Structure formats: structure tokens, C-alpha cells
Amino acid sequence: MVDLGLIYDCKIVDANEGGKKIDVKMTMTAPGCGMANVLKADVENKLSRLPEVKQVQVDVVFDPPWTPTRMSEAAKLQLGFDL
């Protein structure tokens, strides 16, 4: 998801009850993506398993809109995008 440019922001701060709180802003390749809830839940689930993480908040945003220019060079190469 990072290589595809879907993660717009990630902040890790101290949680009130100890441990860490992670706030993520991510997007989908299209606003009508049927996988949005699945991918959001997957990110929340995986981050919440990290040691010391007490709270995870994932927000799906669409501003700015996703474009292929957000992809890493490795992802573009693997998917056959012109570099």
C-alpha cells in the first residue's frame, strides 16, 4: 500500500493510557473502490498488533485524489508503468 502511494500520512504519538497511538490517512485508487473497508480494517488490524500500540485510527480520504504519480518507482516498474 505504501509503494502504491495509498498512505498519505502516518503519525505516531504517545497514547493517554501509555503506549502509542497511530493515526493513518490513506486513500483508494478510486472513490467507489469496493475494497476500502477491507483495506482499512487490514491496516488497523496489522498496526494494532505491534508492540506498545494501544490505539489505531485509520481515516480513508480522497483529497488529494490518488494518481499513479504517487506510486514508488519500484511499483511503477513492477506494474509496467512508463518511467
On the question of pLDDT at 26 being above 70, the answer is yes
Work out the number of other CB atoms within 10 angstroms of the CB of residue 14: 11
Alpha helices in 1-83 (DSSP H): 36-48, 73-79
CATH 3.30.300.130 fits 7-79, yes or no: yes
What is the pTM assigned to this prediction? Answer: 0.87
62 vs 7, 8, 71, CA distance in Å?
11, 10, 16
On the question of pLDDT at 82 being above 80, the answer is no
Gap between the terminal Cα atoms of the chain: 19
State pLDDT tens for residues 28-69. Answer: 999 999 999 999 999 999 999 999 999 999 999 999 999 999
SS3 content of the chain, % helix, strand, coil (to 5): 30, 30, 45
